[in-house]
Amino acid sequence: MNLDQLRSKTGFICDMDGVIYHGNKLIPGVKEFVDWLQKEEKRFLFLTNSSERSPRELKEKLDRLGIHVDESHFYTSALATAAFLKSQNPKGSAYIIGEAGLITALYESGFSMNEVNPDYVVLGETRSYSFEKLERAVNLVRNGAKLIGTNPDLTDSMGREIAPATGALIAPIELATGSKAYFVGKPNPLMMRHARKLLGCSREETAIIGDRMDTDIIAGIHEDLDTVLVLSGITDEQEMIKYAYRPKYILPNVGSIPVS
């Protein structure tokens, strides 16, 4: 496989879990890949559908793993959700089921927290999911609040463990209310456009690297980007052939991209 065209790209949008790390373990080849991005002065953005952590927390995690990049290189579904809701309803209010990354993003976008009559019920990955919160969310949506999910992922890889993600956590609310959630994260092209705007790159100049066919690769196809599937995460070659679309490049991991 000739990778010269991929290496000539100006901008790289790169998923994190399954591409950069598994849980708290760095994937082989990542350091060489990031060193190459910096040496070649590429524009790059680590894009994650997870809404739990802020860019600062993600930077600190990579620091602990020996990868040092500026906080500006991170973009999350929490930030994309906050930007979308701000564009729809500036100074709106929300009932949030999620972690600090999501709460902070919405607060910094001018949203107030509201458990009585919010404009939106917003849900992201969380370890504090409870029947009480589920019940409140159901009744708020039934009373007119719009239902928003940070991403449609059903599962999240937590190292070797699999945890239910936003798509699974929001499903009971959809079933109990008859409302369909609007998901902002990948594969929604909205998040990809936000990412490219931050990079300052055209479609032709940009490639997306991910480990999931159903979010990363289809998001890149929707946005007409070159797509790179790495086999270091969720999707393997047997799983890949089940889909009606294909990535442009298939690589063992991101360490295959730099010139050796």
- Looking at the annotation, which residues are catalytic? 15, 17
d(C-alpha 200, C-alpha 11), whole Å: 8
Distance from chain centroid for Cα 57? 15
What is the DSSP track for 234-249? S--HHHHTTSSS--SE
What distances in angstroms separate CA 35 from CA 40, 53, 130, one per listed residue?
Answer: 8, 24, 43
Residue burial 143-173, b: 16+ Cβ < 10 Å; e: rest: eebbbbbbbbbeebbeeeeeeebbbbbbeeb
* Angle, CA of 15, 18 and 19, to the nearest 5°: 50
For CA atoms 36, 59, 198, 14, give the dihedral sign: positive
- Both structure tokens of 20: 């950069």
SS3 256: helix
Give, rounded to a whole angstrom, the gap between the first and last alpha carbons of the chain: 14
What is the DSSP track for 129-173? --HHHHHHHHHHHHTTPEEEES---SEEEETTEEEE-HHHHHHHH
What is the DSSP track for 78-93? HHHHHHHHHHHSTT-E
